[in-house]
Homo-oligomer: A and B are copies of this chain.
Amino acid sequence: MPHTLDKISPYLPFGDRRDAPFYGHDILSVNQFNRDDLRYLFGVAHEMREMVARVGCFDLLKGKVLANLFYEPSTRTASSFMAAMQRLGGSVIPISEVRYSSVAKGESLPDTVRTLECYADVIVLRHPENGAAALAASYAQKPIINAGDGTGEHPTQALLDLFTIHEELARVEGLTVTMLGDLKYGRTVHSLARLLSLYNVKLNYVSPGILRMPQEVKDEVSARGVAQYETSDLSEVLEQTDVLYVTRVQKERFEDPAAYESVRGAYVITPDTMRAAKAKMILMHPLPRVGEISMDLDSDPRAAYFRQMEYGMYVRMALLAATLGKA
């Protein structure tokens, strides 16, 4: 069912806040959110953060069941949704062996989600193919939350990235955000750039020439009047940066190994790099990292990448509560 329509759960017909934003909605794409939506979601996520700090969990979603349907492995994302549901008192059906299951027997995604929604109240879906989440949502009666489909969308990652900035720096308006590394293939930075373009920010893109931010993303961002600047030299923009978002530059992207070797050093962040950065800024990474950020930086208070993981749990708690009408 399109995410603009409510999906009315047959479960718990009373007690749900049907008038709540996102009640019964699918979460498919960053493009479905406006600033009011984000203000609402981040408000709920912030409450979740305080609640976890105070009491660890509560029974907001007691009696609700989440099907965590992962067609490709992602320990981090699957664990985050699982913890989010459990800390709200709900329970989880983890399905991560899809390759051995009825799907392997040839079952279609629409049939699989329509079976799972017989058991569960909400489905989190990770799938290797672009558009899989929208396809699933068009068949499912219960909300579908896209946990990444191919090179397409991974909206909860973008939401947690933005929420991290919001919580760490207390605002988004007016910030300078620098994205570094592989900006061509990383869906993370594409989605984050789109979300940030809802705000009055400045975006810097630092990458090797062959790994630049796609024109399509830049066009969308500039259509919203957001200033963008491209360079392959971090030092040009680091001093002004409030958020440095690092992604991995993979050797495989380069035809010529020598070309890779010549640039790789420029995309590894060390304590030395950070000397030129502001005292009050944050260093982010979607993780896992494989050498892009030196472990020597882990104790730097600006290193926000592990806190970023924790914010992810709060955002997912907010999304689960909201789609189930309990936020």
Counted per complex, copies of this chain come to 3
The answer to whether A106 has its CB under 8 Å from any CB of chain B is yes
Contact with B along A28-54 (1 / 0, CB 8 A): 000000000000000000000000111
The answer to whether A220 has its CB under 8 Å from any CB of chain B is no
Q: How far, in Å, is A10 (CB) from chain B's closest CB?
A: 6
Contact with B along A81-105 (1 / 0, CB 8 A): 0110011000101111110111111
Q: Which of A67-75, A199-207, A210-218 contacts B (4 or more CB under 8 A)?
A: A67-75
Closest to A90 in B: B86
Distance, CA A10 to CA B80, complexed state (A): 17
The answer to whether A287 has its CB under 8 Å from any CB of chain B is yes
The answer to whether A229 has its CB under 8 Å from any CB of chain B is no
Q: How far, in Å, is A76 (CB) from chain B's closest CB?
A: 6
Verify B63–A116 contact, CB threshold 8 A.
no
The answer to whether A79 has its CB under 8 Å from any CB of chain B is yes
Distance, CA A63 to CA B290, complexed state (A): 33
Verify B67–A79 contact, CB threshold 8 A.
yes
Given contacts A65-B83, A97-B96, A118-B310, contact A56 B102 (CB under 8 A): no
Verify A56–B67 contact, CB threshold 8 A.
no
Verify A288–B107 contact, CB threshold 8 A.
yes
Verify A79–B64 contact, CB threshold 8 A.
no
The answer to whether A110 has its CB under 8 Å from any CB of chain B is yes
Distance, CA A215 to CA B82, complexed state (A): 47
Given contacts A76-B102, A106-B288, A288-B107, contact A57 B63 (CB under 8 A): yes
> Which residues from B are CB-within-8-Å of A289?
107, 111
> Which residues from B are CB-within-8-Å of A10?
53
Verify A73–B101 contact, CB threshold 8 A.
yes
Distance, CA A310 to CA B65, complexed state (A): 14
Contact of A313 among B57, B118, B287, B312 (CB under 8 A): B118
Verify A93–B102 contact, CB threshold 8 A.
no
Q: How far, in Å, is A316 (CB) from chain B's closest CB?
A: 10
Given contacts A105-B290, A107-B290, contact A79 B93 (CB under 8 A): yes
Contact of A116 among B79, B95, B100 (CB under 8 A): B79
Verify A74–B86 contact, CB threshold 8 A.
no
Verify B102–A75 contact, CB threshold 8 A.
yes
Distance, CA A112 to CA B79, complexed state (A): 11
Provide 6 A-B residue pairs closer than 8 Å at the C-beta atoms, listed in order of the A residue: A10-B53, A73-B101, A75-B103, A79-B95, A79-B119, A111-B287
